[in-house]
Structure 1
Amino acid sequence: MMKQLIDLNEPYRRNYVPKPGDKQRKKMIALARLMNYGDMKTIYARLDNWARDQKFKKGWMAHNPAELDLLVAIFEQKVYTHYLTTLN
């Protein structure tokens, strides 16, 4: 039964191509979860608001991969490290 279900989904999985910048967004989500930002809906809203306050003034999903690389670096080096220093 399970093999039949897997076989039905195979054409979809073979043709699936994630959006550009998907890995960067997932990394930011993972960091936000480590910082206890809340549930997924709250995380998306907070990351979107944070991204709008940064250099490019665009929503979180509107950035291209090059811009997301910069945002991830800022998020890791500034926001996450600040969170870690406030723990102690």
Structure 2
Amino acid sequence: MARNYPEFFAICKAAGVDYKEVVSEFTSGRTDSLRSLNDGEYHELFIHVRKWQQTKRPDAVAPGDKQRKKLIALAGKMNWGNNTVEIVGRLNNWSQENYGVELNQLDVNTLNKVLWVMENKIYKDYLNKV
């Protein structure tokens, strides 16, 4: 396994600990340098430190995120832009014209309605024209 020092430092910083203290504690004071650890020690320490990373919980996802992603995908299929930024811009304009707010401001119930309209009206009309 290649040593990934930047990731190690980022995890320590996010956890609010000094990496030198972590290394020193791990080696029982023998060293505070990551480079002086052999590969096995580094790997073992890295596994230990990775446990400090918080995993993204499903409830941390914004409400309506799935609907927004599906709207972006449908708009992409209809060539509303060449990249995601253009597509989201067009969706925001469309959303403001039809619903008075940008895409990210729509609540989940409205997003469900918007998605239904997009799938069953706009996308079907697009397919019929193609």
TM-score with structure 2 setting the length: 0.57
Q: Percent identity between the aligned chains?
A: 32
Q: How many residues align?
A: 85
Query: For residues 27 and 15 of structure 1, do their structure 2 counterparts lie closer, same or farther at Cα, with a shift above 3 Å needed?
Result: closer
Choose the corresponding residue for 2:90, options 36, 41, 46: 46
Structure 1, unaligned runs of 5 or more: none
Kindly report structure 1 stretches of 4+ aligned residues shifted beyond 6 Å: none
Higher helix share: 1
Q: TM-score, normalised by structure 1?
A: 0.80
Query: RMSD of the alignment, in Å?
Result: 2.6
Q: Which has the larger radius of gyration?
A: 2
1:82 counterpart = 2:107: no
Alignment of 1:1-88 (within 5 A): 1=1, 4=46, 7=50, 10-14=53-57, 17-37=60-80, 38-54=82-98, 56-87=99-130
SS in 1 for 2:101: coil
Residue 16 of structure 1: CA displacement? 6.7
Cα deviation, residue 8, structure 1: 6.2
